[in-house]
Amino acid sequence: MLKNTIRIALVLVLTIALAACGRDVSVEKVENIENVENVEKVENVVVTEHEPEQKPIEEKKTGVLIEASMHVITIQAPDGTSYTFGIDDNTKIVGSEILGNTLEVVFMGEYANDIVAISVTTIKEAEHKSGSPAKGKTDGTTAPKPKKDPPKTDDPVSYITGTVTDASMNSIQVLYSDGNTYTIKKDDNTVVDPGIVVGCVARVFHKGGLKNGMLATEIHLIADAPAPGETSQAMTGTVVDSSNANITILGGDQVQYTFLKTDDTVIDGSGITDLDNNVKITYTGDVTDNPTATKIEAAG
CATH label of the domain that carries residue 75: 2.40.50.140
- Kindly report, residue by residue over 146-166, the tens digit of the pLDDT: 444 444 445 566 788 888 889
Give me the half-sphere count of Cα atoms (radius 13 Å) on the Cβ side of residue 210: 18
Domain ends where: 169, 195, 223?
223
Number of domains present in the structure of the chain? 3
Other beta carbons within 10 angstroms of residue 139's beta carbon come to 15
pLDDT, mean of residues 205-218: 84
Domain ends where: 169, 189, 223?
223
- Kindly report, residue by residue over 119-145, the tens digit of the pLDDT: 989 888 765 443 333 333 334 444 444
- Can you give the residue range of the structural domain that contains 254? 233-298
- How far is residue 118 from each of residues 93, 104, 214, 217, 257, measured CA to CA in Å? 9, 11, 36, 30, 28
pLDDT at 236: 86
Cβ-Cβ contacts under 8 Å for 100 (sequence gap 6 or more): 64, 65, 125, 126, 127, 129, 156, 157, 158, 159
pTM: 0.39
CATH assignment of the domain containing 173: 2.40.50.320
Single-letter amino acid code for the residue at 270: S
Domain-embedded: residue 39: no
Alpha-helical regions (H) of the chain:
2-44
Other beta carbons within 10 angstroms of residue 27's beta carbon come to 10
* CA neighbor of 283 nearest in space, from 155, 163, 145: 163
